A and B are shown apart, each in its own frame.
Chain A
Amino acid sequence: MNRGRAVLGVLGLALIGAFGSALPAAAVESGNGATVSFKQIDLERPPGAGADEVRTLIAFGETIREAVSGCADFDELGRELGLLAVTFERYPIERLPADLKNLMGRLDVGAVGEPLESARGVRLVMVCDRSSPPKVASDPAARVRLANYSGPDPTNFGPAGQGGEESQAPPGAALPPGPKTGMRLRAGDVVAVKVDGEDAFAETFQVDRRGRLFLPEIGEVVVAGKTLGEVRERIREALAKVYRDLDQFDIVVRERRLLLTVLGYVQAPGPIELPGDGTLQTALSAAGGLMPGAQLDRLQIRRGEQTLTFDYQRYLSSGDDEIVPTLRTLDVVFVPASHLIGNVQVDFNADSLAASGDGADDRNAIRVFGEVNRPGSFAFKPGMSVVDMLMRAGGVTRYAGVEQIRVIHRAQPAVFDLQSYLDTGDKALIPPIGEGATIFVPMRREEIRAGAHTVYVMGEVFSPGAFETKPGASFLDILANAGGPTRFADSRQMRILRADGTVEPFDLQRHMDRGDGTPLPAIRPGDAIYVPEKTDMNEKSWLKVAPERAIRIIGAVNRPGRYEWSDEMSLLDLIAHAGGPTSRAEISDIQIIGDGRDGATAPAEFDLAAFIAKGGDIDSIPAIRAGYTVIVPELPRDPVGNRAQWTRQSSDRSIYVMGQVGAPGRYAFNPSFSFLDVLSAAEGPTAKADLHRIRISHRNGSGARVTKLNLALYFETGDESLLPGVLPGDVIFVPDRDRSWLEEEKEETVRVLGAVGRPGRYRFSDDMTILDLLAEAGGPTADAYQEKIVVVNLSCCKDEAKTFDLVRFAQTGDFSRLPVVRPGDTVYVPPKSQSEWRIFMNGVGDAVKILSVLALVAAL
């Protein structure tokens, strides 16, 4: 009907639970007068209701009054209507308000009084039991407690309330016999039955958990819930069938004991029996004590259909008896296990579990996790703040991001800056928390720090992260704050990522090694320093070196490949790093291809062989940089045996050797080679080679040029200056000595004609004489006219012919008679028929013949 009332009813239930131990006990032990047990239902008047509404409530109360047929029905009807019937056990009638006192005086047991108007509305009261004042003295302590009773007045309990279903007997000694017929028996009560002369009744009997007594002769008797008078009468009737003399018969309650059941996380769960004044603590002790891991703040007492939950830990810490409900017989005490126990039964480690919080799985507990020393769920207590909870969780760790503590309370997230709070002491910074709040302390690294003075250090440093910089902080300051580069750091390839997006490389190692005063890069807020990982030579993945940091060297080196590059290195460094050139490397024509950054990638060439041989300015070595490709060509194979390799050799790097050499062909050549190198490579001139007339055609000039080489003269004199310079592309021709006469120039030969052994054209040197020439030509024949050997000189200025008398020369040895013979001249050795004497004699003979003819004619 009214949810608000239901809520208030729950609160009232708790209050009654709290005070229940005092009020009924006081009622029972009150010796001042009669008591009454009654139930009460309040029909609350809505706020601002008028007289009509009150009348309506009164009419409703009358309807209830007519419908109720007993105390149990009173409770049942209240539940059906959504109202709670508040029960008061043995309340002193004298202490009731006047209207209630009057009403109680008029009502019989089981009757409902007429509706009474109260401050809150209309009240219905039903009397359940009455009792007369005790005639014996009761416990003085109980009297004191009753005198000091200051519990709530039942008239002010409000619309809700709860009381016990049965009266509470006074603890202590046996009840005296007498007219206490109103006391109801219950399970656990120990009664004594007096029957004269019967030993069978000498012992006491206890009401069992089902409310039964087992008596001799009559057997089972259900007594629980019945008044002592009713029980006495019933047993008397039963005994009367067996015994005649029952004058002295009486039944008294000797002791009221508690029959309980303790379940849950205790050492020995099960039914236990306690004295009537047994408490929860004694009950737990009787059950063997609590097991480690018991959830102390949520102990339960199940009473019928009701379950009372209370904080036993709070009782243990305060000693407040009101916290723990008074036990009643047949109560079931249940000790829950902490949620920390988990679903698997293991040995409980109190040290670790206690550190994980005491909040169990209570939804009202506060969960603290993240970078705290003992994360867990913790019970919330009013007045606790976030700081208290952090302390409860053992404080934050050294990794905690104390500026970014997240607090969620009532589904509202908030950020708590503990650092600022500690700096300022401003409690306004502390967000409110309550039951069910969540506190998360993140790691410092998870925090993204950014600000006007933040710089970032990333990569291979010991403590990468964001750092607050100050004016004047240098690159090294920041790097040192980041722990410095690790041993995996490539300190040569550091990068500075500027806030504007530009990237600047920085070579820290070079700066350290050279100490050349190179200024350190200025680091401004917002910049990031990136220290990359060093690339291992054995690194499988070549992708780790970006193209702009790599250089390629291919060809005839021992370890061609792709290497990380630093622009301060030179070509020689690269070649050395690649293992050096192989034995077949052509280091005189190293080719370098650019990266295209400057436009076309025209290959550059470098003659390393010449540089090594002649030396030179180190600056003449071509500068290379990352992205370049260096090619070290390989020398061609043997041109004779592997002609296919020739195609791999460019024409402008070859020299041609032809003619009378051992292995004519095309040879790889560079300007450092000499003529003799080439000739030797071609296995030298053959035996048929004409060393005097070697021709070298120079093809790399602007025009045709042929050099003649007298290699024989070189061999004769050793004059190195004779050897012509040859260049790639030149052609060396070694002619055959026995070449065609057409190839001999007339100015270079002497024609020997006439009566010689081998007339012909002979080469002639100015060192030779006509004697050498005649000897070469086989000498004069026997028919030679040796006295008139004619020499015709090829002269510039006049025709000249001289004779040489070989016979006379032989006779005199006068060298001055040798005629001049030069290349181009002609030597004629006439036959003897050309001698003057012979001609004369022939003439004489002819004349004689003529004269003879004339004489004959004359004679005739």
Chain B
Amino acid sequence: MKPGILLAATVVLALASCTAWPEPGTGGMAEYAQAGHAPPPAADDGTAWTLIATIDRLRRLGQQGGLHRFPARIQVARRWAHRASRELAGGLVGDARLSIAVLRQRLDEIEKRLDREATQSAEGGAKRPETGEL
């Protein structure tokens, strides 16, 4: 009986190894964790800090008038921030960097628009905001 038991055990183990599942995912709502001032994930090369700085910049732009003048653009930027946060929290560091780059580009555009409006307002020019694709 001993060889039989051994064989059965081998088959069961072999079958068990054939049904391996991916690791559980995380970061699906990472923005909420950041909103709670959770520390950035340790295992990254500074991307987390970049992200935090970028999100902070987004917040400041929103406070400086962006939220009032360009709410849709702020919202879109915020979504990119959410994505970057999620990607970073989910281990998709490379994607997180790309998202951060996109986010920074969006923020740059918002900042330019704000600066331009400030200049036009000082010169008494047109008050209507510029339009364009997001």
Contacts and interface: CB of A to CB of B under 8 A. Distances in A.
A796 B96 CA distance: 10
Nearest to A789: B25
Interface in A786-819: 788, 790-791, 793, 795-798, 800-805, 815-819
Nearest to B28: A818
A766 B12 contact: no
A847 to B, nearest CB: 5
A820 B84 CA distance: 10
A802 B23 contact: yes
B27 interface: yes
Nearest to B71: A717
Contacts of B32: 815
A360 B128 CA distance: 102
Given A717-B71, A820-B87, A843 B16 contact: yes
A770 interface: yes
B23 to A, nearest CB: 6
Interface stretch (A204-212, A705-713, A775-783): A705-713
Nearest to A771: B28
B107 to A, nearest CB: 15
Contacts of B24: 802-805, 817, 819
A373 interface: no
B28 A815 contact: yes
B89 interface: yes
A80 interface: no
Interface residues of A, number: 57
Contacts of A817: 24-26, 28
Which of B8, B21, B73, B132 has the most CB atoms of chain A within a 10 A radius of its CB?
B21
Interface string A699-724: 00000000111100110111111111
A717 B98 CA distance: 26
Interface string A837-860: 001101110111011001100000
B90 A793 contact: yes
B68 to A, nearest CB: 10
Given A717-B71, A766-B86, A843-B12, A797 B94 contact: yes
Interface in A427-462: none
Contacts of A573: none
Given A722-B131, A818-B29, A790 B22 contact: yes
Contact of A713 (B29, B75, B90): B75
A649 interface: no
Contacts of B21: 788, 790, 803, 836
Contacts of A847: 8, 11-12
B115 interface: no
Contact of A818 (B26, B72, B79, B131): B26
Contact of B80 (A766, A797, A855): A766
Contacts of A802: 22-26, 90
Contacts of A840: 12, 15-16, 19
A282 interface: no
A313 interface: no
Contacts of A463: none
Contact of B71 (A718, A804, A805): A718
Contacts of A793: 90, 92, 95
B131 A723 contact: yes
Nearest to A724: B131
A770 B92 CA distance: 16
A782 B94 CA distance: 37
B57 interface: no
A821 B28 contact: yes
Contacts of A721: 69-70, 72-73, 113, 129-132
B106 interface: no
A309 interface: no
A803 B23 CA distance: 6
B33 interface: yes
A309 B8 CA distance: 188
A445 to B, nearest CB: 68
Contacts of B28: 769-770, 804, 815, 817-821
Contacts of B87: 820, 822
Nearest to B126: A614
A850 B10 CA distance: 13
Contacts of A671: none
A843 B91 contact: no
Contacts of B90: 793, 802, 819-820
A152 interface: no
Contacts of B131: 720-725
Range for the number of chain B residues in contact with chain A: 35 or more
B123 interface: no
Contacts of A725: 131-132
A796 B98 contact: yes
B129 A851 contact: no
Interface string B1-44: 00010011001100110110111111111101100000000000
B25 A850 contact: no
Given A804-B25, A819-B28, A710 B134 contact: yes
A598 interface: no
Contacts of B133: 707-709, 724
A534 B107 CA distance: 69
Contacts of B130: 721
Interface in B71-118: 71-73, 75-76, 79-80, 82-83, 86-87, 89-95, 98, 113
B14 to A, nearest CB: 8
Interface in A310-360: none
A305 interface: no
A394 B131 CA distance: 96
B16 A836 contact: yes
Contacts of B79: 765-767
Contact of A850 (B11, B75, B129): B11
Which of B4, B12, B133 has the most CB atoms of chain A within a 10 A radius of its CB?
B133
Contacts of A766: 79-80, 82-83, 86
Contacts of B93: 797
A851 B5 CA distance: 9
A840 B17 CA distance: 10
Nearest to A822: B83
Interface in A747-767: 765-767
Nearest to B5: A851
A820 B86 contact: yes
Contact of B11 (A722, A791, A843): A843
B8 to A, nearest CB: 5
A839 B11 CA distance: 12
A722 B130 CA distance: 9
Contacts of A836: 16, 19, 21
A801 B22 contact: yes
Contact of A819 (B18, B25, B94, B134): B25
A839 B14 CA distance: 11
Contacts of B132: 707, 721, 724-725
Interface string A225-261: 0000000000000000000000000000000000000
B1 to A, nearest CB: 10
A803 B22 contact: yes
B94 A839 contact: no
B95 A795 contact: yes
Which of A713, A842, A855 has the most CB atoms of chain B within a 10 A radius of its CB?
A713
20 contacts: A707-B133, A709-B133, A714-B72, A718-B71, A719-B70, A720-B131, A721-B69, A721-B113, A766-B82, A766-B86, A800-B91, A801-B22, A805-B24, A815-B32, A817-B24, A822-B87, A836-B21, A839-B18, A848-B8, A850-B11
Sorted nearest first, the 10 A-B pairs with minimum C-beta distance are A802-B25, A818-B28, A819-B25, A797-B94, A820-B90, A843-B15, A719-B72, A717-B71, A766-B79, A717-B72
Interface of A: 707-710, 713-714, 716-725, 765-767, 769-770, 788, 790-791, 793, 795-798, 800-805, 815-822, 834, 836, 839-840, 842-844, 846-848, 850-851, 854-855
Given A818-B29, A820-B89, 7 more contacts: A721-B73, A724-B132, A796-B98, A797-B95, A802-B23, A822-B86, A847-B8
